[in-house]
Amino acid sequence: MTQEEAGRLPQVLARVGASHGITNLACKLRFYDNWAPEYDQDVAALKYRAPCLAVECLSQALLGPPHDALILDVACGTGLVAVELQARGFLQVHRVDGSPEMLKQAQARGLYHRLSLCTVGQEPLPNPEGGLVCLTTRSNPSNLPYKEVLEATLDSLEQAGAWERLVAQPVEHWELATSEQEMELGTCANHGFISGIIYLYRKQERGQGEGGRPSVQAPVDP
């Protein structure tokens, strides 16, 4: 960790801790709007690895060349996933996010073909058919209730025959713990990092012809 990252870490921990207590959607989006200008520096201080890990998982799963894949980057903040995608040869990337200010930061990178303002769970996503779905979340104690709800939803989609699970990969070094409680619960062996998990599914919707262009959804924001 650089001296600059270490110096801003207490501020980052306080900011992330405050976000965990926001349950109202409008308030959460305003929080991300305000966070957008400093988001990249803050997650760098946390050693946030989800974008890199998710794109690595996708790269291993796709059978065709990456430049043929259409990527739908969902709720992806300032575009950290797009940076990783471009590094691995993915050239066709669309993105959606519910925060206008996050969209502005992502647009400034110049890596997206299309950017759409869309709140996940409130509005239909563009390009919803076919392909792969990659989702990531933390598995630290404070996130377990959300993780359980997410997995119940994924299980129901699989049981209904809509999605097929390909990967459920635990990851130990996800990002630095952001609270004293997390630091006390199992992070010592991981050098202060919390754990996470990556899910990869194949969508089974009708109309996905053999050899069709995959649409990959990768919501990986902290």
Tens of pLDDT along 88-142? 998 888 888 888 999 899 889 988 887 888 776 666 666 556 778 888 888 888 7
For the cut 80, the answer to whether the pLDDT of residue 42 exceeds it is: yes
State the alpha helices, DSSP H only, in the chain: 3-19, 25-35, 39-45, 50-61, 80-87, 100-109, 144-159, 180-184
More confident residue, 72 or 6: 72
Q: What is the pLDDT of residue 87?
A: 92
Gap between the Cα atoms of 68 and 87, Å rounded = 15
**What local confidence, expressed as pLDDT, does residue 191 receive?**
75
pLDDT at residue 25, rounded to an integer: 87
Percent pLDDT > 70 in the chain is 80
Average pLDDT over the chain reads 81
Residue 205 is encoded by which pair of tokens?
């919707």
| Amino acid at the residue 118 | C
Model confidence at 201: pLDDT above 60: yes
Query: What phi and psi values does residue 166 have, to the nearest 5 degrees?
Result: -105, -40
Bridge-based pairing of strands 114-117 and 215-217 is unpaired
pLDDT at 213: 45
pTM, to two decimals? 0.78
The C-alpha atoms of residue 16 and residue 23 are separated, in whole angstroms, by 14
**pLDDT given for residue 22 in this prediction:** 87
Question: Does residue 214 contact residue 48 with C-beta atoms inside 8 Å?
Answer: no
pLDDT of residue 129: 60
